[in-house]
Amino acid sequence: MIYSAYKLDQVEIESIIAKFPFIKIENIDNVVDKTVLAGVVIYHGSQVIDISLRGRVNSLKKKLYATVK
Amino acid sequence: MQPLNNYLNKIKSEIHPDMIKYRVEEVGYIIEIKDGVVIMGGMNNVGYGELVEFENGVKAMVIDIDVDKVGAIVLGDYLTLKSGDLARLTGMQASVPVANDLLGRVINPIGEPLDGLDNPEDVKHYPLEKIAPGVVFRQPVKIPLQTGIKAIDALIPIGRGQRELIIGDRGTGKTTIAIDTIINQKGQNVICIYCAIGQKESKIASIVDLLKRHGALDYTIIVTAAASDPVSLQYLAPYAASAVGEFFMDQGKDVLLVHDDLTKHAWAYRQLSLVLRRPAGREAYPGDIFYLHSRLLERACCLSKKAGGGTMTALPIIETLEGDVSAYIPTNIISITDGQIFLETDLFNAGIRPAINIGISVSRVGGNAQVKAMKQVASKLKLDLAQYREMAAFSQFESDLDEETKKFLNRGSKITQILKQNKHQLFNLSKEVAIIWASIKGYLDDVSLTKISLFEEKFIDTISLEKKALLTKIEKEKEISPEAEKELEAFTKNFLKDFNNSL
């Protein structure tokens, strides 16, 4: 299952899969979720690969809070 | 504009699809939320004891792994979670932040300060659960841990690295003994940790205040999971306290750890286990209730010189109901510890405080954990008391007794009086030795029973005024040399004369 900010076309999906060979093409399901902002979040079983802008921003937020504290 | 464009171009050239670093994370989702426990799905590669983080930052520790479900105890506010929330595996074991600055602080089992002060700096993380050091890292317990309580130091000595259970009904002075022991560690280079499990907040506040008044808070850390805290925190509290203790023990320091009390800890674990639907055994406790306490108390130890030479002494407290020591939890802990101090309601009400039943209290480390001076007086004391107990039972049936028996009875009753001690009035080694010496040598035989406490008070006052050098000598040499004994004898005789005259 791939979450993205806009509907991905076949070329984009194929290029993602080329990166992650353990994902099988027939299982792919593209879900549009605007909160992802940019990039994609891939769910594979109980594993998650977060390469979205949301994930990056969140981790930056965490780092900032940790240093402020 | 030019510099900005340059900058942007540079960034563009640096960003390349191959540059994207990614991490494969394991996630799960909440199926059910119960009292302090969450049941989750997903998480195919979860480990036991692993830390899980929810979206809102609350953490949980995995303690149950099923075929298709994972149970975890929530370390924090479980009311903020809802079913369906995502949980991320952190790949870390649950740990507590420790630092030298922790001294004098009040923290909860996950290391958050509860005294309104800042987080300590320069922290290390120590795992909550740790396998205790093995045989090769240990050495026998030899150095005494002075409690400042005459009856304990003379008859049931506690050594550094020992585990001595304090057991008794409610209101028999269990906490008082533990707190007095902490207060007496002033200047002894012992770090004290008081772990309160399921106690009233008011009681913890009064203990903090008491320690502060006696100047004992500077070397004490209080780890608390109060009665109103989630059971998950109550369950973790003694492990967290042990982790803090290990931090200091690993620096080669001596640590005293008080678990107040393990009965409530067992209750907390029983609740968690029942909520997790684990099979219940005797008294509805789960099957691993023995291991729960044995793995905890085993972490208290006396490390060998090679392993750093630190020690961790544990004083677990157990509350019995109606003096029933054959209940499940008391028998378990009695068999784990290296001895126990029995406190009895009857003795307490009879005015014998501390209400220690000397007959059935033992210390399995025994004389090894006593200095020579104490050994010199304690052996005679034990003998006198044992004879007294035997005769006292026997003499209730006979009216006229021979002189010898009367002498034993008289001596025994005086010694019993001498072993009484008011709370928070602690004796250092030399004073303990001096007063016990006076009682076993028979100098109190002619003092009337009602005057004993007055005698003791004046004796200690006078000796610390007039014979300060003698006391420091005993304190330093840790034995009563023949010369010291002569000096003590002369002083006691003189004092007794003055005392009798002043009456």
Tokens of B244: 């803090």
In the block, which residue shows the tokens 């420790």?
B98
**Contacts of residue B23 in chain A, CB cutoff 8 Å?**
49-50
pTM of the model: 0.91
Residue type, B32: E
Q: Tell me the count of A-B CB pairs closer than 8 A.
A: 29
Residues 6+ away with beta carbon under 8 Å from B214: B183, B186, B424
CA end-to-end distance (rounded Å), chain B: 102
The C-alpha atoms of residue B437 and residue B378 are separated, in whole angstroms, by: 9
Distance from CA of B477 to the nearest CA of A (A): 51
3-state secondary structure B171-191: CCCHHHHHHHHHHHCCCCCEE
pLDDT for position B19: 66
Distance from CA of A49 to the nearest CA of B (A): 5
Could you list the residue range(s) of the whole structural domain that residue A24 is in? 2-68
Residues A51, B20: C-beta atoms closer than 8 Å: yes
Choose the mutation target among B23, B54, B89 for the interface with A, i.e. most A CBs under 10 Å.
Answer: B23
pLDDT for position B503: 78
Collapsing DSSP states into helix, strand and coil, what is residue B324? coil
pLDDT for position B18: 66
The C-alpha atoms of residue B438 and residue B418 are separated, in whole angstroms, by: 10
Q: For chain B, which residues score pLDDT lower than 50?
A: none
Element (H, E) at B75: strand B70-75
The C-alpha atoms of residue B368 and residue B329 are separated, in whole angstroms, by: 28
pLDDT for position B17: 63
Q: What ipTM did this prediction achieve?
A: 0.80
Residue type, B80: T
Of B20, B25, B119, the CB nearest to A47: B25
pLDDT for position B395: 80
Residues 6+ away with beta carbon under 8 Å from B465: none
**Contacts of residue B44 in chain A, CB cutoff 8 Å?**
45-47
Own/partner pairs, B318-321, CB within 8 angstroms, 24+ separation: B318/B165, B318/B166, B318/B167, B318/B261, B318/B262, B318/B263, B319/B167, B319/B168, B319/B169, B319/B170, B319/B174, B319/B261, B319/B263, B319/B264, B320/B167, B320/B168, B320/B169, B321/B169
The C-alpha atoms of residue B91 and residue B47 are separated, in whole angstroms, by: 8
The C-alpha atoms of residue B355 and residue B352 are separated, in whole angstroms, by: 5
Closest C-alpha among A48, A10, A49 to residue A30: A10
**Contacts of residue A49 in chain B, CB cutoff 8 Å?**
22-25
pLDDT for position B159: 94
Residues B24, A47: C-beta atoms closer than 8 Å: yes
Would you write out chain A's pLDDT as a tens digit for each of its 69 residues?
Answer: 888 888 888 888 888 888 887 777 777 888 898 888 888 888 888 888 888 888 889 888 888 887 765
Hey, which bits of B106-206 come out as E strands? 106-107, 124-127, 165-168, 190-197
Q: Is the distance from CB of B51 to CB of B93 less than 8 angstroms?
A: yes
Collapsing DSSP states into helix, strand and coil, what is residue B464? helix
Q: Secondary structure of chain A: what % helix, strand, coil (to 5)?
A: 45, 25, 30
Locate the chain A residue with the closest alpha carbon to B55.
A58
**Contacts of residue B26 in chain A, CB cutoff 8 Å?**
46-48
The count of structural domains within chain A is 1
